[in-house]
Amino acid sequence: MFKEKVVLVTGTGPNIGGEIARTFAANGARVVCLDARSEIAAATAKEISDTGAEALAVTADITSSDDVERAVQDAVSTFGGLDVLVNNAAISPLGSLIDTKMEDWHAALNVILTGTFLCSRFAAKQMIAQNTGGVIINIASTSGHRGKSGHIAYATAKGGVLQLTRCMAMELAAHGIRVNSVSPNSSGTPLAGSAKSREGKPPRAPLGRWGRTTDQAQAVVFMASSNADFITGTDLAVDGGVLAGRP
């Protein structure tokens, strides 16, 4: 499905991002595994390479314009272009309006919102220069669709990702670049808190189970594929029905 296509995935740790990278590789893509931690990027790239697929590990701080520009250039110099960007990297500091530390507030917005903006900017520049279209998928969250106590920085940043997705879709449509988002709910290992929070039956999911990283990866691959060629500026909730059952 993605043979010869070049896909850059940010935040390729052993959770949703890593699964997205592996799933694209299994579908023929050449994958750039970007992470702020070099050992994580290298581990995911090696895991993909060990299957016979092509992968490149890139270490970058996505809040740095210079780092992001270099990462895109590394992808292009290694694989010859860039066709798909998946903005997955995120952090999730705990805290309310009253007690969130300012450094946590700024860090969440910088990684989730500014990082998505910068990666999309340089990826879009490359896609426009190639004149072959492209796809950008942003990983949002059900937290960005509704108020959530105790995660104000994360939820606010993810809400911004949803609007950024719509704005980019409108700006880039003329260049044949589609931009969409995918909103997971409680999938894989929590970014914050204990893994025990994924045990048992989820209290609010109508489908009666926690999300799996494969649920999100398959949705992202679909949205990036030609099967979704007429979809842009929208969000795909992969949440077991959680948002549908809430006002």
pLDDT digits (tens, 9 = 90+) for 63-120: 999 999 999 999 999 999 999 999 999 999 999 999 999 999 999 999 999 999 999 9
Domain for residue 27, yes or no? Answer: yes
Active site includes 51?
Answer: no
Let me know how many helices (H) and strands (E) the chain has, helices first. 7, 7
How many whole angstroms separate alpha carbon 133 and alpha carbon 126?
Answer: 10
Separation CA 122–CA 125 (nearest Å): 5
User: Domain for residue 181, yes or no?
Assistant: yes
Among the residue ranges 35-39, 129-133, 146-150, 170-174, the one predicted with the least confidence is 146-150
* pLDDT (0 to 100) of residue 247: 60
Report CA dihedral (209, 214, 219, 221) to the nearest 10 degrees.
180
Q: What is the pTM of this model?
A: 0.93
pLDDT given for residue 200 in this prediction: 62
Exposed, middle or buried by CB within 10 Å (0-12, 13-18, 19+), for 56?
buried
Please, which residues have CB within 8 angstroms of residue 102's CB and are 6 or more apart in sequence? none
Helix boundaries (H) for 134-195: 152-172
Domain of residue 71, CATH code = 3.40.50.720
**Domain residue limits at 191:** 6-245
Among the listed residues 154, 157, 168, 220, the single catalytic one is 154
Residue 81 lies in a domain: yes
Any domain includes 99: yes
Q: Is residue 1 part of a domain?
A: no
Q: Is residue 54 part of a domain?
A: yes
Residue 167 placed within a domain: yes
For the chain, the domain total comes to 1
Q: Are 17 and 42 in contact (CB under 8 A)?
A: no
Q: How many CB atoms lie within 10 A of CB 199?
A: 9
Does residue 198 form part of some domain? yes
